[in-house]
Structure 1
Amino acid sequence: MRAIQVKEYVKVGNNEGPQDLQVATLPTPSPSATEYLIEIHSAGTNFFDLLQIQGKYQHQPPLPWIGGAEFAGTILAVPTKAQSPRFKVGDRVFGATQGAYATHILAPEHTLLPVPAGWSFEDAAGLFVTAPTSYGGLVHRANVQPGDWVLVHAAAGGVGLAAVQIAKAKGATVIATAGTERKRQIARQFGADHVIDYREKSWPEEVKRLCAQHRSGNGKAGVDIVYDPVGMIEASLKCVAWNARLLVIGFAAGKIEKVALNRVLLKNVSLVGLHWGQYARFEKETVQTVWKGIFDLVAQGKFKGTAFKDESFVGLESVPRALQALGGRETWGKVVVKIIDDDAVAGKNRGFTIGSPYCINAPEYKADGSFDVASTSSRQSPLRHSHISVILVQLLHQSFLSGPDYAASSLGLPVFRLSDKQAWIGETFRLVLTPLSFNGSFSPETYTQPTISHFFAAAPYISHVGCENVYIVEIFQVQSSSSGLVWTFGVPGRDALQSCQFNKGSAFTEEERRTFKLHGLLPPNIQTLEEQVQRAYEQYSSRDNDLAKNTFMASMKAQNEVLYYKLIDTHLKEMLSIIYTPTEGDAIQNYSRLFRKPEGCFLNIRDQDRIDECLSNFSRGEEVDYIVVSDGEEILGIGDQGVGAILISVAKLALTTLCAGIHPSRQLPVVLDCGTDNESLLKDELYLGLRQSRVRGEEYDQFVEKFVETARKRFPRAYIHFEDFGLHNAKRILDKFKSRIPCFNDDIQGTGCVTLAALLSGFHVGGIKLEDARVVVFGSGSAGTGIAEQLADTIATETHKSKEEASKQIWCLDKPGLLVKSLGDQLTPAQVPFARDDKEWPDADSRDLLSVVKKVKPHALIGTSTKPNSFTEDVIREMAKHVEKPIIFPLSNPTRLHEAQPEDINRWTDGRALIATGSPFPPVDRNGGKYEIGMCFSHYVAKIGSSQLMPGSLDLAAECNNSTCFPGIGLGAVLSRTRTLSNKMLVGAVKALAARSPALQDPDGPLLPDVKDVRELSVDIAKAVIKTAVEEGHAQEEGIPANEDELEEWIRAQMWEPVYRPLVKPQQQQQ
């Protein structure tokens, strides 16, 4: 390896000393029993590095030693005696340990952290010291609060820029000091509200002037927190507020100050210090808390890298210059040395688009800029391409390379040219570039020159934006001949028929049949998509039972996606219960016996090291927008179904396509197989999943964490939808990740949103103001508490109450009765916010539902208890005494577990109740007409058309289950590329759904809209989510229209429709 080795101390006078540092060639270390071997890509510089090379630092390693302490790079080898290492080979990490000015380093696990998704090595190399110093100081020591004013000294330095971002993220106003105009400009760019030149002697007066101008109130004549890494506490005392906190971070100015303690006393000032390096010794638990806070801010887009970019320091030879610039105060942010210039390597190797159904393996990049690619015909014989003159491909969302060595066609398309003749001989490839729309011509199918230019092969239609043409992938083979290389281009006729994405069956046009040599493979009569739908529906209708119909539809989906979605879209209300609940529940229970063809990604807890490898089989990179993942513990009201849960992920994604136009090729269904506690599955010799009891606890948590981290790294644009996780895991997992990534749990948030929309509609019809509403939730499991939490969020958002105040409008009951604080450990974390003070309920016997209804006089009663008939006539009549339009939602399912029947509720309230249920019910008689019952849940089990309650699906009331809500939320999240799915965005979705309630026009109409209008609903919901994402600063997509009509048009243009698109064979342009 190569490294900056210090054999003797240097003298740093006039910043010349660092130039004496030399690069040495040393033996590359081997991984030890407890240390990882890491290839360093970037190394951070610190002032203590300058002190260390002079022998003046308090911690001096014995000579000779390698300089530097902060780095970011890639794991090359794990510790030799590690039983379950946190990191694996290939992981991107950053950390701090002696010896970072080198190409390789050994580091123990506790000194390493994962590089955040989307971060460069350059930015990550500057994170380990500055970020926790600033976060630990401001949040842990100074307790920064929203509304605080924070004075950050040396704000353009590494810790200073970190402090500016953290203070802003916590809701503070920031005054930044810096000594040059460029540094003040940088401080502004990183979020500082005001900037001051600290070289001006009157700067404390300027601080006080700003506070006087913008702050009011007793004791607010200065700043609340001073963040000082320089040594300016004495002067800062002149401009602090009452109860200020002075945070001493360091003494970069080189002077140890004497503080006037009389000022500390008079202003009630707290003087606190932070020595971050000692926390690992004295407060290890705080280290973890601080890093979690930092990673949360990164995930929310509120903290970015601070690497100095005005000058580049590339290669170990640039370390002396970097240290000189650091010591001379010439820089801002964190000075980082690129040991490996990743940008240059990427520029050389940007050759193949990775991951489409017809893609070669991912290239393995080498240090010298070459790479290996395994061909489809010879996976064991990687080809070495070290003499490629040009491989230029326009990658999705990446710009063209430029320079004299690269060329593009006159059409502005990429040029593909090879000069490495022998490497390709005898190999067959399927090359995939991005879809390109062009009008060239391509004549010869056999090309006998050794150089190929203007070869185009396109992946199936990707991106949401509609392309008129879909370019079929070409297959070609390279053979040697006397005239050079023979390149044979073939057309995948049979492949087109066998691909569910390309297949049109009898609808292939005459031109397509001729172009792709389909004659003889199809009957001669060419039909329309509508005629195919008619035939398919007849075939569907001939199936004897619902499960047979479900199996038929699954088979069709595997053959022809467009026809599958068109058929369902044409018969949506009839088929929704077949491709989703309740019939999908039967399919899941019989998964291992009905299994024909796998669909989705199967990950198991006994093979965690292969998660990345497994996901790489779906390696479509940024082309994956939507992931649904389930661990199969609580499926559709039928419990633990193990590996069969893959079908609920598949079904949910089918609904996102049907209801919101998410492109089917941009989705990924996943099952996390953790075993099963379902004895019937374990005893079934045909069961396809892990044959073991379900794994829980720490190992389970690590598995989920590893999946999420790996999925986000491989699919950085993806929105993750958690589905049917167990009661004890669902909310816990959602809470863990929702601030870090855009994610969603339909059982909690989807159910909550739909129920909330029905509630808001009911409040409107009943003339009840949201700030006055009183709601009783009977049953406080994940569904009940999810509804309660989202209702509290909505009340808080819409009425500007605190979340705590909003929660007081909700009374929750569970098995012990009313949730009260004295229940203590019996309360789940989700129940705690809704526990009432025992003093409100002095009589312990008064905690039954009837007593609560008598005392609270609720406007709404929601049942999620699975306790049948618990909404008794006494309870309903007592409620109706006090409310003109009682809102009553018996939501438990299946139907036999409903808290009350809609017909009874209607009779007991004399036709005044506003009703929604958790399963489909027929309309009830009211005022000489029919009152339709809205449906709030996605997981109903009662079969349409098979119950005495439901004589026929066409007679059922309008259904509005979660499928009318979660697809629109997902569409909005995907199109905006939001960093997180905030509570306010969900409130926007709820309001959009509620605004479509038929009851707003007709008080006797249903509370929720009909599922037949689902795509229009999805547009409204997506629009609300996107607008809120933009307002909150979470949206990362550029060019989102601000105009309401333009935004709606923009959304509609990106929704996939099940129509056949022309298939075009790429043509070579004549030169």
Structure 2
Amino acid sequence: MDSTMKELRGGKTVLDLDPKSTVGGGVEDPYGEDRATEDQLVTPWTISVASGYSLLRDPHHNKGLAFTEKERDAHYIRGLLPPVVMSQELQEKKLLHNLRQYQVPLQKYTALMDLAERNERLFYKLLIDNVEELLPIVYTPTVGEACQKYGSIFQRPQGLYISLKEKGKILEVLKNWPERSIQVIVVTDGERILGLGDLGCQGMGIPVGKLALYTALGGVRPSSCLPITIDVGTNNQQLLDNEFYIGLRQRRATGKEYADLLHEFMCAVKQNYGEKVLVQFEDFANHNAFDLLAKYGTTHLVFNDDIQGTAVVVLAGLVSALKLLGGTLGDHKFLFLGAGEAGTGIAELIALEMSNQTKAPVEETRKNIWLVDSKGLIVSSRKDSLQHFKKPWAHEHAPVTTLLDAVKAIKPTVLIGTSGVGGTFTKEVVEAMAEFNEKPLILALSNPTSQSECTAEQAYTWTQGRAIFASGSPFDPVEYNGKVHIPGQSNNAYIFPGLGLGLVISGAIRVQDAMLLAASEALAGQVTKENFDKGMIYPPFTNIRKISAHIAANVAAKAYELGLATRLPRPENLVKYAESCMYTPNYRTYR
């Protein structure tokens, strides 16, 4: 095949791809994902060069030792590589072997991030093919430690940093990003990273990790993903005193200054990328998270993973657990430890689904759900002092100050932890649950592992192996009395990649609760009898791309049904269409 190079303005050259080899290019991408398009030329400074030495240092196009003899001649890299030609599969095998030599998870994390900066397709191939092994490295729990130490391990910037210094210039900053066609933005202000608190600018590890999963698990093209950190300062004194801290050295901006910066950001995003770009809010503190979702939910395509994603994945686990517990959602009583964005978000979605099933008003179905915060059970006598998002959960009951007393008083069938405080499901609490439930359902959802309300081993041991258990971070299988119990992981990674793909392929312009319920239903439907027999309430992660395709199809179907989809006509088979739109990281042939 002839070596052809494409001329751009200024006489520079970009790589031209063999069109027949462009596998899984994604949604409506007539140029092929890796081509420079006319759109990209409007970025003020961009000149794409993809030949010779530059090609080997371009992570989007570099294939390392997998360049063929023909490609090495055609693209001026003869002699710049050792003579061997290695397949992508062999490269993957070598990298996996090297990763397994590291004893410390953070070393594996930095090695994977280095690979992403060197060879993007190989990074995603490795992640997709070894998802169960590598998910805890690129996501929770290791990503939490990476954020804590981000200033020290920071090497090359990933994503966009928008600080108070950029006020009035955010649109210009967005135009500095080289990709023009962005479909998904994950943004954080770093105030509440996992259960680790305010990590300021170092929270960037979260949007980077989430978007890696959007691609690996949901098939959204990496070139259409943009991680953003909004830096308004930090109240973490340790970071402010740390000479290696990479963010603004000031206390957090609040009130009007904060709201104005976020508003400029949201307007600039819509102006630059259009109405169909999904903005996922990630790890914002409670007060801001609820306000942002309420403010922009009617004008932008927005989603908060901590409020909505967590709720969807937990609801899916509850629905599938009913196969083991019996009854309907309305037959069960729920008690939460933690009444922040995760706890109230899950509670509201459960109430909504119960309302859908029973046709009772949501105000009525909420009465089956009780929440405990740092001051005790949320009851009506506390209503005047409660934050607005807690008020719907203030039911008539005498005051109760401890979780143990709340368990004894309410007698829940399901105990859910979203407190961010490790070890709060004590032996006494779990044993109390086991006293009046044959199969107590215990969900210890706080991340990372150190913040989990109890461990899988504790849950099984303290209930004599009767508990159905799931957690936010992964736990190993537990053997109790000769039986192996496989704990579930109520991991948002089951939901947001498929949900995002569904929004993208339908061209949705808003996210509505009905779409969230559709995503939850799709996930619950993927749990097989074989999974249930092992006590599992979630499907194994090895099938995650298939699961994501089903979730995407369900979400897209709901978008079409609600008249919120813009990509017309509607494809006949949405599952097949979702699968055909998924990015695949196999190498392309260059000519």
> What's the CA shift string for 1:874-896, capped at 9, x where partnerless?
54444444433321223334545
Q: Residues 962, 522 of structure 1: CA spacing in aligned structure 2 closer, same or farther, 3 A cutoff? A: same
User: Counterpart in 2 of 1:884?
Assistant: 438
Q: Distance in 2 between matches of 1:438 and 1:553?
A: 30
Q: How far apart in 2 are the matches of 1:432 and 1:529?
A: 20
- 1:546 positional shift: 2.4
Q: How far does residue 982 in structure 1 lie from its aligned partner after superposition?
A: 0.9
| AA in 2 matched with 1:674 | V
Structure 1, unmatched stretches of 5+, are 1-357, 361-374, 376-426, 440-458, 475-488, 937-960, 1065-1071
Question: How far apart, CA to CA, are the structure 1 residues paired with 2:335 and 2:237?
Answer: 37
Larger relative contact order, structure 1 or 2 (CA cutoff 8 Å, min sep 6): 2
Tell me whether 1:859 sits opposite 2:413 in the alignment: yes
Structure-1 residue corresponding to 2:41: none
Following superposition, the deviation at residue 556 of structure 1 comes to 1.3
Report Cα offsets for 1:961-1003 as digits up to 9, x if no partner. Answer: 2112111111111111111111111111111111223467634
Partner residue, 1:138 = none
Q: Any idea what the Cα deviations from partners look like across 1:320-379, whole Å, max 9, x if unmatched?
A: xxxxxxxxxxxxxxxxxxxxxxxxxxxxxxxxxxxxxx998xxxxxxxxxxxxxx7xxxx
In structure 2, C-alpha distance between the alignment counterparts of 1:469 and 1:515, rounded to whole Å: 20
Check 1:501–1:871 CA distance in 2 against 1; reply closer, same or farther (3 A cut). Answer: closer
1:1060 is matched with 587
Deviations along 1:220-241, one digit per CA (max 9) or x if unpaired, are xxxxxxxxxxxxxxxxxxxxxx
Could you say which residue in structure 2 is the equivalent of 1:77? Answer: none
- 1:604 matched to which residue of 2? 163
Q: Compared with structure 1, are the counterparts of its residues 467 and 706 closer, same or farther at alpha carbon in structure 2 (3 Å cutoff)? A: closer
Whether 2:293 is the aligned partner of 1:730: answer: no
Answer whether contact 2:478 2:485 (CA < 8 A) is retained. Answer: yes
Alpha-carbon distance between aligned partners in 1 of 2:424 and 2:235, rounded to the nearest angstrom: 30
Contact 1:889 1:916 in 2 (8 A): yes
Partner amino acid, structure 2, of 1:796: S
Question: CA separation in 2, counterparts of 1:638 and 1:761?
Answer: 30
Q: Following TM superposition, by how much is the alpha carbon of 1:706 offset from its aligned partner in structure 2, in angstroms?
A: 1.1
1:632 aligns with 2:190: yes
CA distance in 2, matches of 1:491, 1:639: 42
Whole-angstrom CA distance in 2 between matches of 1:877 and 1:774: 17
Give me the whole-angstrom Cα distance separating, in 2, the residues matched to 1:824 and 1:786: 19
| Structure 2 CA distance for partners of 1:1047 and 1:471, relative to 1, 3 Å | closer
Structure 2 counterparts to residues 53-132 of structure 1, below 5 A: none
2:226 aligned counterpart, secondary structure: strand
Matching residue within 561, 568, 573 for 1:1038: 568
Query: Counterparts in 2 of 1:470-869, with a 5 A limit?
Result: 492-543=51-102, 545-618=104-177, 620-621=179-180, 623-716=181-274, 717-837=276-396, 841=397, 843-844=398-399, 846=400, 848-867=402-421, 869=423
How many Å apart are 1:559 and its aligned residue?
Answer: 1.3
Q: Is 2:27 the counterpart of 1:464?
A: yes
Q: Deviations along 1:567-599, whole A, 9 cap, x unmatched?
A: 222332222222222222232222222222211
Partner Cα separation in structure 1 for residue 115 and residue 146 of structure 2: 15
- Given that 1:460 and 1:472 are in contact with CA atoms closer than 8 Å, whether structure 2 keeps it comes out as no
Contact 2:293/2:303 (8 A) holds in 1: yes
Decide whether the 8 Å contact of 1:468 with 1:1062 is kept in 2.
no
1:824–1:1016: structure 2 CA closer, same or farther, 3 Å change rule? same
Counterpart AA for 2:498: G
Deviation at 1:512, TM superposition (A): 1.9
CA separation in 1, counterparts of 2:426 and 2:33?
60
Q: Distance in 2 between matches of 1:877 and 1:778?
A: 16
In structure 2, what is the Cα distance between the partners aligned to 1:646 and 1:907?
38
Q: By how many angstroms is 1:625 displaced?
A: 0.7
Cα pair distance change 1:496/1:470, threshold 3 Å: farther
Answer whether contact 1:866 1:893 (CA < 8 A) is retained: yes
Q: 1:922 to 1:492 in 2, by over 3 A?
A: closer
2:218 partner letter: A
Aligned to 1:37: none
* Equivalent residue runs for 1:129-208 within 5 Å: none
Query: 1:713: Cα distance to partner?
Result: 1.3
Report the AA paired with residue 355 of structure 2. A
Question: AA paired with 2:496?
Answer: F
Give me the whole-angstrom Cα distance separating, in 1, the residues matched to 2:177 and 2:478.
49
Deviates more, 1:969-978 or 1:866-875: 866-875
Which residue is 2:488 aligned to? Answer: 934
Distance of aligned partners of 1:897 and 1:620 in 2 relative to their CA distance in 1, 3 Å threshold: closer
1:923 is aligned to 2:453: no
Considering only CA atoms, is the larger Rg found in Structure 1 or Structure 2?
1
Cα deviation, residue 436, structure 1: 9.7
1:966 corresponds to: 496
Asked whether the 8 Å contact 1:877–1:908 carries over to 2, the reply is yes
Q: Distance in 2 between matches of 1:597 and 1:726?
A: 27
- For the pair 1:987 / 2:546, whether they are aligned, the reply is no
Give the direction of change, closer, same or farther, for the CA distance of 1:598–1:757 in structure 2 (3 Å limit): same
Q: What is the CA distance between 1:746 and its match in structure 2?
A: 1.4
Once residues 670 and 468 of structure 1 are traced to their aligned partners in structure 2, the CA distance between those partners, rounded to angstroms, is 26
Contact residue 354 and residue 365 of structure 2 kept, 8 A = yes
Q: CA RMSD in A?
A: 3.1
Higher mean C-alpha displacement, 772-781 vs 881-890: 881-890
Shift of 1:907: 4.1
Change (3 A) 1:898 1:1059: closer
Would the alpha carbon gap of residues 600 and 885 (structure 1) be closer, same or farther in structure 2, given more than 3 Å must change?
same
**CA distance in 1 between partners of 2:578 and 2:357 (Å):** 26
Alpha-carbon distance in structure 2 between the residues aligned to 1:438 and 1:911: 55
Distance 1:679 1:584, change over 3 A: same
- 1:143 is aligned to none
Write the letter of the residue equivalent to 2:537: L
Q: Aligned-pair distance for 1:668?
A: 0.7
Describe how 1:363-402 pairs up with structure 2 within 5 A. Answer: none
1:748 shift after superposition = 1.6
Whether the 8 Å CA contact 2:33–2:223 is kept in 1: the answer is: no
Hey, what's the Cα distance between the residues in 2 that align with 1:771 and 1:516?
64
Q: Which moved more, 1:878-887 or 1:970-979?
A: 878-887
What is the TM-score when the length of structure 1 is the normalising length? 0.51
TM-aligned CA deviation for residue 544 of structure 1: 5.3
Amino acid at match of 2:576: E
* Contact map agreement 2:50 2:58 (CA 8 A) in 1: no
2:43 corresponds in structure 1 to none
Q: Which one has a larger percent helix, Structure 1 or Structure 2? A: 2
Question: Scaled by the length of structure 2, what TM-score is found?
Answer: 0.89
What is the distance in 2 between the residues matched to 1:788 and 1:766?
A: 19
CA shift at 1:1021, angstroms?
1.0
The amino acid that maps onto 1:464 is: V
Q: Give the % identical residues.
A: 37
Which runs of 5 or more residues in structure 2 are unaligned?
A: 1-5, 38-47
Q: How many aligned positions are there?
A: 576
1:982 to 1:497, Cα distance in 2 relative to 1, 3 A: same
Is this contact kept in 1: 2:121–2:586, CA < 8 A? Answer: yes
Gap change, CA 1:898 and 1:604, over 3 Å in 2 = closer
Call closer, same or farther: CA 1:644–1:920 in 2, change over 3 Å: same
Aligned to 1:1025: 555
SS in 2 for 1:720: strand
Q: CA deviation at 1:675?
A: 1.0
